[in-house]
Chains A and B, each alone.
Chain A
């Protein structure tokens, strides 16, 4: 019985990455390396105004004074920052007005990923801002959104068209001095999305961006900025799959969210970068800084993430709960298999009175991977009646993987109530026995139990994503079983 289970678990967890292909598209790249000249060149190539270049240079100079942090429970091979290409854009003949003009190869790539632009445009009502490497290729539904005053465009476009908004909010949540990778991103960021929801507007559709790393050896540094004015609402989805590549690829993104009074922002991520092969060769390094601030009273920010890819994942989507009665939420499923490593979690900083936060983290480790939850809950003295509840569960599949929990709880207010609980276990034999008894084969039972285990988080995803996320969980863990 035990042997059979181990066998099945072994089969399940030895699945190969299914999204490994590489689209041969002509690239417009600059030489490897990083220097002030490179940054000036990136800025020039993107026709940026003076203030952006200054911002980049300041960030770069600051980055030079910093050292790579070492506190994470990760084993990161040394990264040679001079051996990366910091700008790479698919070559385009001219500005595109319709889908027909998009490079057919590129369209094929999206089709393989299951996100045909045409279909999505017509059927799902989802506006897709597809970022292929560094430049925004196609934006849809822009007009629909524009009618309501919603700005949803690529970051570089926003820099040119809405410099005042960018100046006001860029770096206001994640300053370039924040950390090593934030500084690097601020210096060399390629592109990303900008989203602005005006006062009292409820965004009528889910906004979504598909990021995709394509060219070999290209660091991708997106930057996303979402500003939700008073009484507005937006749900934003980010998803990514990357083609198979042998050399490690660096991905250091920044996401900033500003929620004003009574605004609500939901941010969902499905991350499926290339995790490396079974021997731990290759794979993406995913070092992301994501942070939102609940600036106004009664505002709410919710992070939901499904992390199944990347060789190394290192990110902590955080909420600064500054206003009164603000709410921060974090729901996460992190799956690691083979040689993957993940150190992920959240930070909830309670500043305002009656601020509330909830953390639900589910880790699943298989193969020889290591999966850590690291989270901070900090209550400042002014945060009367702050409330936090954290639940971190880890599931171990196999006896060679590791699951770790490192919460940091800091309370400076007597009226705050903070609760944290965590458990680590494997799939119970009684649970499998129960399923078997009802005629469910062991391998189906394991899939069933894992899906049930992650359900609490998957339920928080928008419909479109929930389906994909469930598939991803199965692909990540179940190999041929789908």
Chain B
């Protein structure tokens, strides 16, 4: 009974917080974003916080992450130091257009929104909603609104800013846009940002999102990404989660794909105490393709939870999920992948695979690959494995004079590389290979030049 009382109080806590500070939240955001808040608050009241043990949040204890007494900032960023002084992304040969998000707000150098070389419009979401109200009105909260997750409503109610990226019709940009999401503060902090990425008809773009924490405080992020890929658009989205282990991160991505669009999303989770990634993909037009991959390497007490829902709402679509993980020490993880094929989505091809390696007896992994199929002319399959490194492969390597440790590392690296090779930015692929290699060796896998000792 006590848990129900607490759950209510957690929802109430945020409802009260909203009531008390609604003016401040709205004042520091934009009118278009504000119009969605009342409904979201109502929805939060109805849905409440997810409860551990429910079908969607079977193992993730959301309440425990929210229970920390975290500061919430609704005004301007109070960061006094210049982020650019201490943060350098040092990926060799990675030439990107860099956008910084600090504690959930767009960090600008005087320009809130700008046109990047190649024709991409990028910058603050709040600012964009003033400058391009037509676009924002059409897409903002359009894909997340149907969610039955109270945390999404929570984000809509509180989100004030985030990153907006827009590629106009027919524009193809080679150079990736890099969004670096930084948490830095003197106090324990909670942030809820909101990103909106739009790729118009026949456009192409690549986005890299890096999550970092630059101070040792406890952080909690509850972010929502909405991605719209119009007819024929091609989007590649790579996310690298590398916050320190005292932080908790909950991400919700809603991807909406139209006819012939292609979206490839990779999520690489390296560090972070508590990570929950919700990915919802709707294939809304024929011949749309979705590739969702994930890699999670965890040790100590880390908890990494991936939840993927692919909705085949149209015929002739293709989707593929590949999620792999290595768990060490007493880390735990969960994977839930669901393929939903709707009644008329004939000729669907959908695959799903989840492979895990457990390195200790204290590590725990939960895997739920799921198929929900209402059309008959489909090819759908899923597979899930849990086990350890292949003894015969180990023996092969040892018989070639490679020592035990190196052999194991080599095999684990090969295991992980299957996911990494899906990343569409070559320089980044190399970099992640390197990070993963370091991570598996137990070395610090931060960027070399970073001044912060947050590993």
Question: Could you tell me which A residues sit within 8 Å of B by CB distance?
Answer: 71, 73, 381, 394, 396-426
B379's nearest neighbour on chain A, judged by CB, is: A425
Q: Is B373 interfacial (CB-CB < 8 Å)?
A: yes
Within the assembled complex, what's the spacing in Å between the Cα atoms of A420 and B371?
13
Contact of A402 among B362, B366, B372, B388 (CB under 8 A): B372
Q: Which of B337-373 contact A (CB under 8 A)?
A: 343-344, 346, 356, 358-373
B386, A409: Cβ atoms closer than 8 Å? yes
Given contacts A408-B368, A414-B361, contact A402 B373 (CB under 8 A): yes
B373, A71: Cβ atoms closer than 8 Å? no
- Residues of A with C-beta under 8 A to B388: 414-415, 417
Within the assembled complex, what's the spacing in Å between the Cα atoms of A313 and B349?
29
Q: Is B380 interfacial (CB-CB < 8 Å)?
A: yes
B58's nearest neighbour on chain A, judged by CB, is: A408
- Residues of A with C-beta under 8 A to B359: 414
B381, A422: Cβ atoms closer than 8 Å? yes
A410, B366: Cβ atoms closer than 8 Å? yes
A404, B372: Cβ atoms closer than 8 Å? yes
Given contacts A71-B55, A412-B361, A426-B376, contact A394 B371 (CB under 8 A): yes
A417, B387: Cβ atoms closer than 8 Å? yes
- Residues of B with C-beta under 8 A to A421: 381-384
- Residues of A with C-beta under 8 A to B387: 416-419
A381, B361: Cβ atoms closer than 8 Å? yes
B364's nearest neighbour on chain A, judged by CB, is: A412
A426, B377: Cβ atoms closer than 8 Å? yes
B383, A420: Cβ atoms closer than 8 Å? yes
Q: Is B428 interfacial (CB-CB < 8 Å)?
A: no
Q: Which of B377-417 contact A (CB under 8 A)?
A: 377-388
Within the assembled complex, what's the spacing in Å between the Cα atoms of A423 and B383?
9
Given contacts A414-B361, A419-B384, A424-B381, contact A409 B366 (CB under 8 A): yes
- Residues of B with C-beta under 8 A to A402: 372-374
B370, A407: Cβ atoms closer than 8 Å? yes
B362, A381: Cβ atoms closer than 8 Å? yes
A-B contact count (CB 8 A): 120
A405, B371: Cβ atoms closer than 8 Å? yes
Question: Shortest CB–CB separation between residue B346 and chain A, in angstroms?
Answer: 7
Question: Shortest CB–CB separation between residue B368 and chain A, in angstroms?
Answer: 5
Contact of A404 among B356, B368, B373, B375 (CB under 8 A): B373
Within the assembled complex, what's the spacing in Å between the Cα atoms of A407 and B359?
23
Contact of A414 among B360, B366, B371, B383 (CB under 8 A): B360
The prevalent SS among residues of B at the interface is strand
Question: Shortest CB–CB separation between residue A294 and chain B, in angstroms?
Answer: 21
Question: Shortest CB–CB separation between residue A457 and chain B, in angstroms?
Answer: 19
Question: Shortest CB–CB separation between residue A291 and chain B, in angstroms?
Answer: 21
A371's nearest neighbour on chain B, judged by CB, is: B373
B363, A414: Cβ atoms closer than 8 Å? yes
Within the assembled complex, what's the spacing in Å between the Cα atoms of A404 and B380?
11
Within the assembled complex, what's the spacing in Å between the Cα atoms of A209 and B367?
38
- Residues of B with C-beta under 8 A to A400: 343, 374
21 contacts between A and B (CB under 8 A): A396-B375, A404-B370, A408-B368, A409-B365, A409-B368, A409-B386, A411-B365, A412-B363, A412-B364, A414-B363, A416-B387, A417-B388, A418-B384, A419-B387, A422-B383, A424-B371, A424-B373, A424-B381, A425-B379, A425-B380, A426-B377
Within the assembled complex, what's the spacing in Å between the Cα atoms of A428 and B361?
44
A406's nearest neighbour on chain B, judged by CB, is: B370
Question: Shortest CB–CB separation between residue B447 and chain A, in angstroms?
Answer: 31
- Residues of B with C-beta under 8 A to A424: 371, 373, 378-381
- Residues of B with C-beta under 8 A to A403: 371, 373
Within the assembled complex, what's the spacing in Å between the Cα atoms of A422 and B371?
9
- Residues of A with C-beta under 8 A to B356: 411
Contact of A407 among B360, B372, B384 (CB under 8 A): B384
For the complex of A and B, the 7 pairs showing the least CB-CB separation, nearest first, are: A396-B376, A409-B367, A417-B387, A414-B358, A405-B371, A418-B386, A423-B381
Within the assembled complex, what's the spacing in Å between the Cα atoms of A414 and B378?
35
B376, A397: Cβ atoms closer than 8 Å? yes
Within the assembled complex, what's the spacing in Å between the Cα atoms of A413 and B386?
10
- Residues of B with C-beta under 8 A to A415: 361, 388
Question: Shortest CB–CB separation between residue B411 and chain A, in angstroms?
Answer: 14
A426's nearest neighbour on chain B, judged by CB, is: B376
Question: Shortest CB–CB separation between residue B342 and chain A, in angstroms?
Answer: 10
Given contacts A399-B376, A417-B387, contact A407 B368 (CB under 8 A): yes
- Residues of B with C-beta under 8 A to A394: 371, 373
A416's nearest neighbour on chain B, judged by CB, is: B386
Contact of B373 among A381, A396, A411, A418 (CB under 8 A): A396
A411, B364: Cβ atoms closer than 8 Å? yes
Within the assembled complex, what's the spacing in Å between the Cα atoms of A138 and B120?
82
- Residues of A with C-beta under 8 A to B386: 409, 411, 416-418
Within the assembled complex, what's the spacing in Å between the Cα atoms of A475 and B123?
65
Question: Shortest CB–CB separation between residue B375 and chain A, in angstroms?
Answer: 6
- Residues of A with C-beta under 8 A to B382: 405, 420-422
Most B C-beta atoms less than 10 A away, residue of A71, A407, A422, A424: A424
B378, A425: Cβ atoms closer than 8 Å? yes
Given contacts A404-B372, A411-B356, A414-B359, contact A399 B377 (CB under 8 A): yes
A417's nearest neighbour on chain B, judged by CB, is: B387
- Residues of B with C-beta under 8 A to A417: 385-388
- Residues of B with C-beta under 8 A to A407: 367-370, 384
Question: Shortest CB–CB separation between residue B199 and chain A, in angstroms?
Answer: 31
A401, B369: Cβ atoms closer than 8 Å? no
- Residues of B with C-beta under 8 A to A422: 369, 371, 381-383
A366's nearest neighbour on chain B, judged by CB, is: B376
Within the assembled complex, what's the spacing in Å between the Cα atoms of A409 and B382?
13
Within the assembled complex, what's the spacing in Å between the Cα atoms of A304 and B362?
34
A410, B364: Cβ atoms closer than 8 Å? yes
Within the assembled complex, what's the spacing in Å between the Cα atoms of A73 and B386?
26
- Residues of A with C-beta under 8 A to B370: 404-407
Q: Which of B404-439 contact A (CB under 8 A)?
A: none
- Residues of B with C-beta under 8 A to A396: 373, 375-376, 378
Given contacts A408-B368, A420-B384, A425-B378, 12 further A-B contacts (CB under 8 A): A399-B343, A399-B376, A402-B373, A404-B371, A404-B373, A411-B386, A412-B363, A414-B388, A420-B383, A421-B383, A422-B371, A423-B381
Within the assembled complex, what's the spacing in Å between the Cα atoms of A101 and B371?
54
Most A C-beta atoms less than 10 A away, residue of B362, B372, B377: B372
B383, A399: Cβ atoms closer than 8 Å? no
Within the assembled complex, what's the spacing in Å between the Cα atoms of A409 and B58?
12
Q: Which of B168-182 contact A (CB under 8 A)?
A: none
Within the assembled complex, what's the spacing in Å between the Cα atoms of A401 and B373?
8
